[in-house]
Structure formats: structure tokens, C-alpha cells
Structure 1
């Protein structure tokens, strides 16, 4: 980041579909810590547009984007995995890491869960090798619920925030 650009955090709109797919492709290429479906290249902009529309109407799912100017630089998602429990996923482009963006996005999601969603709990999985992310999640109140040789499962209950 060579010049000062205002960074904004907002919910995804259906018009973002093509740019979301491009961001996901870039994130997948950039990081071994970013896990996404192998068939990403098969998803069309029309498919993504439809998915964003459904998510925005759900009350239990969310796609949050961070922008620098017109460029998408980060994405955070909440996907209801079982009744009243959403799973958090977040990824920030390498050039924008370390500036507090991940923290700000997760805090925005926690506020959404608390005030606007129909969820009670927020869970996530983090690779054991991703110690920076693990520390961030702990700082934000997530607690370890289980782990194996590769992954740590964490949860944040609504009554904790």
C-alpha cells in the first residue's frame, strides 16, 4: 500500500459477484491458510449473484467485504452450520494484513450476530499453524472447543459479548 486509501467495510451486494469471485481466486493463490472449495473456478458470476441475494435475505448468513477505493481487499463470511450457530470465515489480501482490518471485520460480524442476526453462537476453525489468527480469535473472546493435529475449533457464545 503505497498511498493512503480509505478502507470501508460493508455487506456484499449482488453487484459485487464478479469481484468477489476474483478476490476469492486471488486469496486462494496467495495463502495456504485460506481454505475454499476446489471447484471455485466453476462458479459463475450469475451463480454468485444469486448466492449473495439469498444470503442477504437469510438473517443467519452474511458476506462482509472490505474495500480500498474500488478494490475488494478482504472478505468475511458467516454461514449457518446448524440451528442458531454460524461459522465464521475470514481472509485478507496479504498487502492489507497487519493493519487491524481482520479485527475490525470480526468485530463488525460480532455486532451483526448480536444485534441483527438470528444466531446465538459463532464458531470457526483455524489451522494450528496459523498462530496469528488463533491469537486474534482468543483476543476477541473465542474459546477452544476441540482440536486435532491440524485444526483448532473455537466458539463465541452470544452471552460472552
Structure 2
């Protein structure tokens, strides 16, 4: 599905949140690899589960055609600096929900880009009959957990010792959900 573009201006930075289009595929492939290497809050390390330009073109095409999917990008001066996806499915028993994921280049942390992507995704879900948004977050990512709680997400579960990070220690993944009645 697609949304209307929206412009934001925070801390002297102007950015646009908009639906991804196929022209974004090459940039998304490169940005994803970079973001994965900048934080351990995500599931992948840099280059893991690599998606090339044609892979992103297919994801964007599928998400645009699906009423239960939304692929958004954050753009600064024509450059993609982050993105988010809401991914649903066609199974009748779970068609009421989507899974949300978000990532932003480290250079652009602190400008509420992740929050803006989340707000746009929530608005889309609430406006399109999506009843539940789920997500997973590393237990040490307190800033993200606080943000999700601010927007009505609740802890639904815990995956114990779910990820091993560069320090060799195991960390829990928190499962969160937001239900729109």
C-alpha cells in the first residue's frame, strides 16, 4: 500500500517520509548494509541476509500491491537515511495484524526519524483496518522500548537469550504489540 508524503522539520533537519518506490531499490540495498553495521540493535550484521537491488524492487512491488503491507522511506535532500516496513499476510486467522520494523542511519539518530516512521505506520494501520501491530526489540534498546510504550505498545513476551552480541553475551528479545480496537 502507499501513503501520501509528509515533510518534517526537526532540529534544523528537513526530511520526508514517503512510500518506497522501485527507484529506491539500489539505495535501500546500500543503506541497509550500512545500518546493519552501525548498531547491534538489529538482527543482522553488515552484509548478512543481503538483499540486492532486484530483491528490493520485488519487495517494494509486492508491498505496494498488498493491502496489508507498507514500505516507507525517510529521505533527506534526496538521500534515503532510514526505512520501515509493516508486513502482514493473507492468512485469514492473522490477516488483522502486521509486523513493524524500522532502521535509521546512525548519523541521523536524534531527529525523530524513527518516531516519524512509526507514527506514519500506526496512522496507516489504524486507517486501514489493521487491528494489531507487533514488533521485537533488543532488551538493551531502552530508547526504542520507551518510544514504543509511548505509542501504546505493550510487552507481550520475552525470548530469552535470543541473540548473542559482539561481547559474547546473550540478550533477550522483547516482543511488543499494539492493539487498535
| Aligned with 1:35 (options 24, 43, 67) | 43
1:9 and 1:39 map into 2 onto residues whose CA distance is 25
Unaligned runs of 5+ in 2: 1-11, 161-171
Q: TM-score with structure 2 length normalisation?
A: 0.79
Partner of 2:150: 139
User: Higher helix proportion, which one?
Assistant: 1
2:43 and 2:75 map into 1 onto residues whose CA distance is 21
Q: Structure 1 residue 16 and structure 2 residue 38: aligned? A: no
Matches within 5 A, 1:57-72: 57-72=65-80
Q: TM-score with structure 1 length normalisation?
A: 0.88
How many residue pairs end up in the alignment? Answer: 154
Change in CA separation of 1:46 and 1:130 when aligned onto 2, cut-off 3 Å: same
Q: Structure 1 residue 153 and structure 2 residue 178: aligned? A: no
2:25 and 2:159 map into 1 onto residues whose CA distance is 35
* CA apart distance, 1:113: 0.3
Unaligned runs of 5+ in 1: none
Partner of 1:122: 133
Partner of 1:112: 124
Partner of 1:25: 33
**Structure 1, 25-34 or 96-105: larger mean CA deviation:** 96-105
* CA apart distance, 1:44: 2.8
* CA apart distance, 1:5: 4.7
Secondary structure of 1:148 counterpart = strand
1:26 and 1:63 map into 2 onto residues whose CA distance is 19
Note the aligned Cα RMSD (angstroms). Answer: 1.8
